[in-house]
Amino acid sequence: MSAVVDTLVGMTGWRLSGGSGDGPDRTGLRLLAVAGSVVLALVVGFAVGRSGGGAGGAQPAGAAVAPTDVIPSHDHGPQAALAIGPDVSGLAVSAGGYTLVAGPTAFPTGRAQPFTFRVDGPTGKAVTSYAIRHDKPLHLIVVRRDLHGYQHLHPTMAPDGTWSVGLTLPEPGAWRAYADFTAVEPGGAEVSAVLGVDLTAVGGYQPRTLPAPSDSSTVDGMAVTYGGQFKVGPTQPLLFWVPAQLQPYLGTYGHLVIVREGDLLFVHVHAETQLANGAVKFWTAAPSPGRYRMYFDFQVDGKVRTAEYTLVV
């Protein structure tokens, strides 16, 4: 460093110990200040690069990744496609160039009506090529904004990319529909996303409160329990026990959807392909503190059932 300072002094023609004449040359001072700033930036940059903290630097072995307010919306295992950013959580109707374009969103209460929509891609045209994920090209989740009335549906697609499904909203109020899919782009790249849109069931809305948190949910006389922690930080295992003979459903023994109260952030997790000592096992983490509703889909005797739980993180 002293050699660098000497060089700078030589460039300005002014010594730090004193200048010639009545004082230091002002031009020299300005040159010295600018040059010193450059040197300082180079030294700091070199130090950061050595520590691995610069852009593109390798993370130290075992370094933890800090949790963010957005986590992947769903986990499809080792062949997971690239997610397109924060909006994969279902908070928006458009993300990464993909837009959910819905047909009529007002429904009569308690009566089936077709729900139609398409997904427009970055080119502005409807997407018609989707990857199959757990036996289906698209999963549609519908729930009322107070987190009651959960439904897990599988629409069918017409050749022009229009999706349709018969949908019944059993109670009046505002509902949220999530389209969970993996689009296949013209070059073959796969992009996963979750896009959301609001629906309305006509009538007087009577909001309902959520049940108190519990690790047990009774479904058709079966007490379905879970163990583990859903918390902020690294992924943790959640285990679900069903007191009956489980049957595979959509390629695995269970599906898990978690929705946050308030903003309706969406998390969809698929279970491990094999049971863990008789339990259905998921890996997930909470994006941030809040109150959540958890929906566990499973199949017994050819019928798909859903156990529901309230969680406070």
Q: Check whether 150 has a pLDDT greater than 50.
A: yes
Q: Check whether 24 has a pLDDT greater than 50.
A: no
Averaged pLDDT, 144-171: 98
Averaged pLDDT, 63-68: 30
Q: Over the stretch 169-178, which tens digit does the pLDDT of each residue have?
A: 999 999 999 9
Distance between CA 228 and CA 236 in Å, rounded?
Answer: 7
pLDDT value of position 126? 97
The percentage of residues in the chain with a pLDDT greater than 90, rounded to a whole number, is: 67
pLDDT value of position 121? 96
Average pLDDT value for the chain: 79
Q: Is the dihedral of CA 54, 55, 60, 62 positive or negative?
A: positive
pLDDT value of position 89? 81
pLDDT value of position 134? 85
Which structure tokens are listed for 238?
């959640």
Q: Check whether 20 has a pLDDT greater than 50.
A: no
Distance between CA 48 and CA 44 in Å, rounded?
Answer: 6
Bridge partners (DSSP) listed for residue 281: 239
Q: Check whether 84 has a pLDDT greater than 80.
A: no
Distance between CA 100 and CA 189 in Å, rounded?
Answer: 20
Q: Over the stretch 93-115, which tens digit does the pLDDT of each residue have?
A: 999 899 999 999 999 999 999 99
Q: Which residue has the higher pLDDT, 68 or 284?
A: 284
Averaged pLDDT, 43-69: 33
Q: Which residue has the higher pLDDT, 55 or 215?
A: 215
pLDDT value of position 248? 94
pLDDT value of position 76? 40
Distance between CA 246 and CA 6 in Å, rounded?
Answer: 79
Averaged pLDDT, 159-178: 98
**Residue 206 neighbours by CB under 8 Å, 6+ apart:** 171, 172, 173
Please give the span between the terminal C-alpha atoms of the chain, in angstroms, as a whole number: 52
Which structure tokens are listed for 56?
């593109």
Q: Check whether 23 has a pLDDT greater than 80.
A: no
Q: Over the stretch 117-148, which tens digit does the pLDDT of each residue have?
A: 999 999 999 999 999 998 999 999 999 999 99
| Alpha carbon of residue 64 to chain centroid | 19
pTM for the predicted model, two decimal places: 0.73
Q: Over the stretch 254-281, which tens digit does the pLDDT of each residue have?
A: 999 999 999 999 999 989 999 999 999 9
Q: Which residue has the higher pLDDT, 107 or 74?
A: 107
Q: Over the stretch 199-224, which tens digit does the pLDDT of each residue have?
A: 999 998 898 999 999 999 999 999 99
